Amino acid sequence: MERTLIILKPDAVQRRLIGRVIQRFEDKGLAIVGMKLMHISRELAERHYAPHKGKPFYPGLIDYITRGPVVVMVLAGERCIEIARALMGKTFGYEAAPGTIRGDFSAGRTFNLVHGSDSPESAAAEIALYFKPADLLEYTPAGSEWVFARNDV
């Protein structure tokens, strides 16, 4: 079962969109296997966004993610990275399609509400920054056999 890290960024928390955003992932059939509300320290933010260090937007990205509380969660499901990224929509809210999280709730470049891992490798590395293995659950949500067919036709 694939896993991904999702962060509901400070703008999502401040705008009281936590429940509405989480509902989108659950409605699609993804399981929450770990979740917490926290402040991301500057040190943790710099480790998380290390691949972007030196880029012009890096300082603003660090300031943004450390600006207020976030919800950090791990989702699990078949193809969950691909599914989560489709649900989030394009990075900039004004480019994101209606029906996506960013398309429905974001209009700008900086405040884009949500982060999601972009590959299994980045998911594993990002999850390890925020969660210990013992913090993550293994379970099969009731009804998942009606979401993820084992023999897609």
CATH number at residue 103: 3.30.70.141
- Give the pLDDT confidence score for residue 38 in this predicted structure: 98
Q: Are 69 and 10 in contact (CB under 8 A)?
A: yes
Three-state DSSP class for residue 2: strand
Within a domain: 87: yes
Which pTM value belongs to this model? 0.93
Q: How confident is the model at residue 151 (pLDDT cuts 50, 70, 90)?
A: low
The number of domains in the chain is 1
Q: Is 115 annotated as catalytic?
A: yes
H or E, element range at 19: helix 18-27
Structure tokens at 102: 């960013």
Q: Which of 39, 48, 52, 115 is catalytic?
A: 115
Residues with Cβ within 8 Å of 15's Cβ and at least 6 positions away in sequence, in order, are 105
- Asked whether residue 120 carries a pLDDT value surpassing 60, the answer given is yes
**Residue 93 clears pLDDT 90, i.e. is over it:** yes
83 assigned to some structural domain: yes
Q: What is the pLDDT of residues 11-24, one digit of tens each?
A: 999 999 999 999 99
List the structure tokens of 85.
């990224």
Task: Determine the Cα–Cα distance for residues 56 and 38; give it in Å rounded to an integer.
Answer: 27
**39 bridge partner residues:** none
8 is in which domain, residue-wise? Answer: 2-38+68-137
- Residue-wise pLDDT for 12-62, tens only, equals 999 999 999 999 999 999 999 999 999 999 999 999 999 999 999 999 999
pLDDT band at 1 (very low <50, low <70, confident <90, very high): confident
The per-residue pLDDT for 152 is: 57
Could you tell me if residue 58 is inside a domain?
no
